[in-house]
Each structure stands twice: as C-alpha cells, then as structure tokens.
Amino acid sequence: MRLSPDRARAPRLVFLLAAAILAPVLPGTRNAAADPLTLPPPLLFDAGPLGSLQAQGIFSGLGTWQYNPTALDASNRFDITNAQLILQKNTGPVQFFLQAGAYNFPTLGVPASPTSDIGKNFYGPVPEAYVKFAPAGDFSIEIGKLPTLMGAETTWTWMNYNIERGLLWNLENAVTRGAQLNYGAGSFHASLAWTDGYYSNRYNTVSGSLAYAPDTENTLSVFFYDNLGHTPYGSTANPEALNNSRTYNLIYTYSSASWIVSPYLQYIVSPASTQLGYAHANDSFGAAVLADYSFTRTFSLGARFEYITSSGADNVSANNNLFGYGPGSRAWTFTLTPTWQAGGLFARAEISYVRVTHYASGMVFGPAGNNRDQIRALVETGVMF
C-alpha cells in the first residue's frame, strides 16, 4: 500500500529528530554508570521523638511537541511534571515514607492531562504514604498508600530512564492501598500484598513478586496480580477491566559498569464474568526492552522498545478493549532519551514514536482519531535536592 504524504513523512521525522537529539551526546566517553536522575543525598534533621528524618525534593517542568495529537490534546504543551517533597525515616523498628505535592506522568499514546487535574483524578496531593514495621533486618510490613510491585517502570518521571511511561506501564497499576509483607534472604527477595488493586477502594486483590539476584550484575523477577472478587465500577485511576484482571510479569535486568538492560514480558487476562457482564475472556500480551548507557558521569542515553497485542476483535464483550485502541489492536513504540545531570540540576530531551495497527476507527491519533502514527519531542528540566 502506498503511504499518504503525511504517513510517508512520519518515519523520516523520527530518524531526523533522533539524530538531532543524539548529536550532543555521542562524543562522550565510556565511564562508570549512574542513574540518569539520581536524587542528591537527603537533608538530615533531628525531629525529636521521631528521631533522625530525611528530606528530599524535586521541581521540574516539561515542554512537549507532538505530531498527530488527538482532538482532546494540543500540538504544544508546557506544564510542571514534579513539585514534590519526600520525607522519610528509614531506620529503627518503626519507619515511614511520605511523598506529597504536584505530579504528572506523561504516557506514550495517551492525551496529556494538565498537572492541575492529575492529583484530583488519580492519587491526591499525597500519592504515597505508608508506615513500615521492620522488627528484623530481613522482614518488614508496610501499610498505607504503596507503590506497585508490578512492572519494570515506576510512576514518577525522575525515577525512569525515559520521560514518558510506556504502553505496558499504562496497563499496570501505579499506586495501591493496603498492606505488604517483605522478606529478603541472600540472593532472594519476596513481597506479598493485599490491596485495592488499581486504587479501587475495594480490598480484594492479592499481588506478589519474587526476585533472584545471583550476583551484582543479574536479577530475575516474576510478578503476579489477581482480583479474588469483583469490582463492578471504574474511574480514571481504576479501569474496571484491568482492576478485575490477572497479570503476570517476567523481568530480567543486567547491570554493568555502563549498561543497564531490562527485557520484560507482560501478560494480562480479563476473565469472563457474569457478575461484571464480561461475556468472554480477553487478554493482552506485551514485550519490552528498557536500556540505559552512561557515556560519562554526566551524560547518559535511555531507550525503550515495546510491542503489545490485544484480543477481542471477534467478540463484543465489555472487556475487549484493554489498551484503548479498539478490540484486537496492536502497537509498537520506540523512545530515546538523552540525559544530563550535574548535582541537583538536570535536563533531558526525548523523541518517541507510536504506531498502531488493527485499530478501531476514531480510537487512535489525529483530530478524527484515524491516524495510526504519533511522534512526540519533549524537553524536561529541573532541580533536585
């Protein structure tokens, strides 16, 4: 099939923008690896009966340009990605963690939401807060608003090698409320949690992870999630079909002097349910590779490749559109993110490309929702302390 002029131009734009972004970084020399955005050492202060506490913070802003925005989005956007403060006590038998402020989590293939709307539509002004009981060095219990055990990417922009989260991340839960048991012994670490899943406020899901690290360079992790009941409602933070799903992850991570590489697999099945009105089971399978290379102690390059498929093209069940582009849709993405950090200052750019096939009319990109490609160029900068 011959591409239309816009379709033919899109892949060329990807390579040209990628070359422009990479140009300042490629001359760097190989050096010891460091996380692209590493929070500086925390501020320590004496809190009387609470003991010694640690405080950290981040303030960052984002500029975005995109090709083929949806009707709900804009070609250009500027917004705050983080204005957050972290306060914690991580010593002693009773500890705590508190994260508060404004935040955003830009995501591939999803229309952007203003940071002013994110908190009220998702996890509020205190997205994570929990108490941790650590009676022994190898065992602990956490209770409160917890970060998910699921997936290879985390929620907050500064904790990832890319500015945007990926399509696989967008199917996973991010913050969940409940209790979690942790146990670590030698090369093994295990966690088991009883929570409200995708922030549903109904405590009927169990999840767990097991990690094995035979040495400092290699780690293999497995994860499971299962809703043991039925949650017959949804919201922005709590998509009904996903909250009632079963999810499995397999993640391998290799870390050396300059490289970090994490291939991972994701399988999600939304079972048939008469209580929820799901006439058929539907599923999604995704595979991704996340990588980061440190050229120097200051410059690094993050990359991500994803491929994801979904079932449902041959049924009309209410759970047959798990990742939003229509029943039976497929997509692949590619993202490059060069990063510069010096102490608490950082700046990074990003080019991302999403292509969707087998989509439903009106459910992808462009003003009418019928363009299968989307390109974004982003710049994020800020200060951490």
Return the pLDDT at 33: 38
What mean pLDDT comes out for the span 368-373? 96
Rg (CA), the chain: 21
What mean pLDDT comes out for the span 195-216? 97
Q: Which pLDDT band holds residue 315 (cuts at 50, 70, 90)?
A: confident
Q: Is the pLDDT of residue 94 over 60?
A: yes
Amino acid at 39: L
CATH label of the domain that carries residue 25: 2.40.160.10
Q: What is the pLDDT of residues 99-140, one digit of tens each?
A: 999 999 999 999 999 999 999 999 999 999 999 999 987 999
Q: Which pLDDT band holds residue 35 (cuts at 50, 70, 90)?
A: low
Query: Of 318 and 225, which is predicted with more confidence?
Result: 225
Amino acid at 37: L
How many domains does the chain contain in total? 1
Percent of the chain with pLDDT over 90: 84
What are the residues whose beta carbons fall under 8 Å from the beta carbon of 352, sequence distance 6 or more?
A: 108, 162, 164, 333, 334, 335, 336, 375, 376, 378
Tokens of 57: 């913070």
Residue 40 per-residue DSSP state: P
CA–CA dist 211, 250 (Å, integer): 10
CA–CA dist 18, 24 (Å, integer): 11
What mean pLDDT comes out for the span 219-230? 96
Average pLDDT of the chain is 90
What mean pLDDT comes out for the span 305-310? 97
Listing DSSP states for 129-148 in one string gives EEEEEEEETTEEEEEEEEE-
Return the pLDDT at 6: 38
Distances (CA, A) of 157 to 36, 81, 153: 11, 7, 10
Distances (CA, A) of 293 to 53, 59, 256, 290, 344: 33, 25, 10, 11, 20
Return the pLDDT at 341: 95
**Beta strands 259-270; 175-185: pairing state:** unpaired
Q: Is the pLDDT of residue 32 over 70?
A: no
Which alpha helices (H) appear in the chain, and where do they start and end?
A: 5-22, 115-121, 240-243
- Domain carrying residue 107: 5-384
Return the pLDDT at 18: 41
Return the pLDDT at 3: 37
Hey, which bits of the chain come out as E strands?
A: 43-46, 52-67, 76-89, 94-103, 128-136, 139-147, 175-185, 188-195, 205-212, 218-227, 246-255, 259-270, 282-294, 299-310, 330-342, 345-357, 373-384
Q: Is the pLDDT of residue 266 over 90?
A: yes
Return the pLDDT at 38: 87
Q: Which pLDDT band holds residue 28 (cuts at 50, 70, 90)?
A: very low
Return the pLDDT at 65: 97
Asked whether 204 and 231 are in contact (CB, 8 A), the reply is yes
Distances (CA, A) of 287 to 123, 248, 265, 329: 27, 12, 5, 15
Q: Is the pLDDT of residue 223 over 70?
A: yes
Q: Which pLDDT band holds residue 293 (cuts at 50, 70, 90)?
A: very high
